[in-house]
Structure 1
Amino acid sequence: MNPVVTNLIELLKLERVSDTQFIGRSQDLGFPKLFGGHVIGQGVSAATQTVAGRFPHSLHCYFLRPGDAAEPIQYDVEIVRDGGSFSLRRVVASQFGKSILVMMVSFHLTESGLDHQEAMPNVPGPEAFKSELSLYRAHADEIPQKVRELFTADRPIEYRIVENQNPFRPRPGIAKRHMWIRSVAPLPDDELIHQSMLAYTTDYGFVETALMPHGLSIGNPYLNIASLDHAIWFHRPFRLDEWLLFVADSPSACSARGFARGQIFNQKGELVASIAQEGLIRYSGK
């Protein structure tokens, strides 16, 4: 298996300390702060390991403090309720004795019921686009030296953005983007791995959709951006090692906060997940 994919799978497994306590290792991606998707993905993994025979259908979390990328993370899971059809878990991630994230995860027994969904947007398939990584490598001379290696390194998830343009000189446009995503190598037949990896993935490039009307790049030195909260609803089974279309839009940005919402479809056109996020967006430039 591809080593960067293997590393991500191992990152999300966690060390079990007790029935409801886990330790996750950190991953230094070149930034002083932990990547938010890292903590979300590990939190889903921790919660799921305390539930039998049920799968996550929704999660809601708040980022409380920046995480330290050089230190392990403790996950404490509270068994809030195990009902006839649903189970609820509260997860607190902490470092140095202080909470960095609080998450609620709801689990549901698989059952049949009414079925409808919004139609998948009609966009060209992934084969029509270059990977985001290839764009970064093509424009490597525009990346600051101190983060150039980070932006051009191999990744476990491939992104192919329909609205491709120079990521360092974006043009103002509508607050909507379409991204084809998948792991760069096959994954095991373990639903937890696919769900926790998707949770990890959805924090990447999502709230940046709120920057698109303003023609701002994530690398703008006058920009301070950070995730505030994140929610995911898992609708239908999926595989992250097969292409998924991540459709994101941002209906509002105000008061130094940007809001984004998203839908994820498989190539059959099935809506497999929905996402929402609000992020801090402080811009001090002219």
Structure 2
Amino acid sequence: MSQALQSLLDLLDLEQIEQDIFRGTSRSAVVPRVFGGQVAAQALVAAGRTVPPDRHAHSLHAYFLRPGDPGAPIVYTVDRIRDGRSFTTRRVVAVQHGQPIFHLSTSFQTYEEGLDHQAPMPPAPDPETLPTSAERLRGYDHLPPDVVERFLEAREAVDLRYVDEPPFGRFGAPREPHSQVWFRTNGKLDGDIDAPLLHVVLATYVSDMTLLDSVLLAHGRGGWAVGDVVGASLDHAMWFHRPFRADEWLLYDQESPSAHGGRGLGQARIYTQDGRLAISVIQEGVVRVPREH
């Protein structure tokens, strides 16, 4: 396991300070606020620690309410909404400086057999043939070196590989609002920490990194990295369909059906390398063009 991955696991290992109350810290992000994927992942950890181990997360719905302060701890309070025969529901509120910054509702289910079908996996190149984030980002002379290093530092626990040029790599001309990335953790997870919730938590963490890229592609925008768009996540929903491992390659197939009113919508499917549909994701975010643009 890489040191970067171990640091991420430590970040997600919340401190319990009272029954159903947990505390987490933050790490550096590419923007001067707490990374949304981190808050969502930590909130899911808090919820999972109040649920019987035979019940697995199958969905989450979240709202980002305020920018998080990366220099202050985050307190997560869990409400035990319902414990049914098959489903368990939890609500989590993340608080900083006396104000809620994030709200999560999530549901867990015991395993059961049922109907089974899925959308087919789209074509994508072998991830091993694609450049790493470091190889791709350090080839962009138009990006300031500090921006590149912040990107790489924030993503060092994840091996994330773009299939095509990211929006900040080749911008100026609109493209199809569709983006693909392969991702996995930067190192294997040890056998004693491979509980299903951990893999779901790590996928939740990564899911907020690139989902709105397809919005930018549709308009030839490079995003905050080149200063032509200001953005932030508003809400986020995920459905976990089938088991997967976050330390094995996952294809994140993303598209944007709409942008309007200062908001953009991204939707995506995440597949295992052998073609199983593991997760569906939808996110809306603020996407504003600065006045000078």
Question: What secondary structure is seen at the aligned counterpart in 1 of 2:138?
Answer: helix
Of residues 220-229 and 168-177 in structure 1, the stretch that sits farther from structure 2 once superposed is 168-177
Task: Look up the match of 1:223.
Answer: 229
Classify 1:191/1:165 alpha carbon distance in 2 versus 1 (closer, same or farther; 3 Å).
closer
List runs of 5+ in structure 2 lacking aligned partners: none
Task: Look up the match of 2:51.
Answer: 51
- 8 Å contact kept, 1:229–1:279: yes
TM-score computed with the length of structure 1 as normaliser: 0.96
- Tell me how far apart the structure 1 counterparts of residues 167 and 229 of structure 2 sit (CA, whole Å): 18
- Tell me how far apart the structure 1 counterparts of residues 149 and 114 of structure 2 sit (CA, whole Å): 49
Letter of the structure 1 residue corresponding to residue 48 of structure 2: T
Task: Look up the match of 1:17.
Answer: 17
- Tell me how far apart the structure 2 counterparts of residues 175 and 237 of structure 1 sit (CA, whole Å): 28
Shift of 1:261: 0.4
Shift of 1:128: 2.4
List runs of 5+ in structure 1 lacking aligned partners: none
What pairs up with 1:142-157 in 2 under 5 angstroms? 142-153=142-153, 155-157=156-158
2:198 aligned to which of 193, 197, 202? 193
Shift of 1:166: 7.6
Letter of the structure 2 residue corresponding to residue 259 of structure 1: L
- Tell me how far apart the structure 2 counterparts of residues 64 and 263 of structure 1 sit (CA, whole Å): 25
Q: Deviations over 1:21-73 (max 9, x none)?
A: 00001112253211000100001100000000211100000000000011110
For the aligned residues, what is the CA RMSD? 1.5
Task: Look up the match of 2:93.
Answer: 92
Classify 1:45/1:166 alpha carbon distance in 2 versus 1 (closer, same or farther; 3 Å).
closer
Q: Deviations over 1:178-198 (max 9, x none)?
A: 111111100132212211111
What pairs up with 1:32-181 in 2 under 5 angstroms? 32-52=32-52, 53-139=54-140, 141-153=141-153, 155-164=156-165, 167-170=168-171, 171-181=173-183
Classify 1:277/1:165 alpha carbon distance in 2 versus 1 (closer, same or farther; 3 Å).
closer
Task: Look up the match of 1:256.
Answer: 262
Identity %: 40
Shift of 1:220: 2.9
Classify 1:177/1:165 alpha carbon distance in 2 versus 1 (closer, same or farther; 3 Å).
closer
Instruction: Return structure 1 stretches of 4+ with deviation > 6 angstroms.
Output: none
Letter of the structure 2 residue corresponding to residue 76 of structure 1: T
- 8 Å contact kept, 1:137–1:152: no
Shift of 1:99: 0.2
What pairs up with 1:3-14 in 2 under 5 angstroms? 3-14=3-14
- 8 Å contact kept, 1:92–1:99: yes
Letter of the structure 2 residue corresponding to residue 93 of structure 1: A
- 8 Å contact kept, 1:133–1:159: no
Question: What secondary structure is seen at the aligned counterpart in 2 of 1:43?
Answer: helix
- 8 Å contact kept, 1:262–1:274: yes
Question: What secondary structure is seen at the aligned counterpart in 2 of 1:214?
Answer: coil
- Tell me how far apart the structure 2 counterparts of residues 151 and 114 of structure 1 sit (CA, whole Å): 41
Shift of 1:6: 0.3
- 8 Å contact kept, 2:184–2:250: yes
Shift of 1:148: 3.8
- Tell me how far apart the structure 1 counterparts of residues 289 and 114 of structure 2 sit (CA, whole Å): 46
- Tell me how far apart the structure 2 counterparts of residues 208 and 72 of structure 1 sit (CA, whole Å): 29
TM-score computed with the length of structure 2 as normaliser: 0.93
Matching of residue 202 in structure 1 with residue 203 in structure 2? no
Shift of 1:161: 1.3
Question: What secondary structure is seen at the aligned counterpart in 1 of 2:85?
Answer: coil
Shift of 1:145: 4.5
- Tell me how far apart the structure 2 counterparts of residues 224 and 160 of structure 1 sit (CA, whole Å): 24
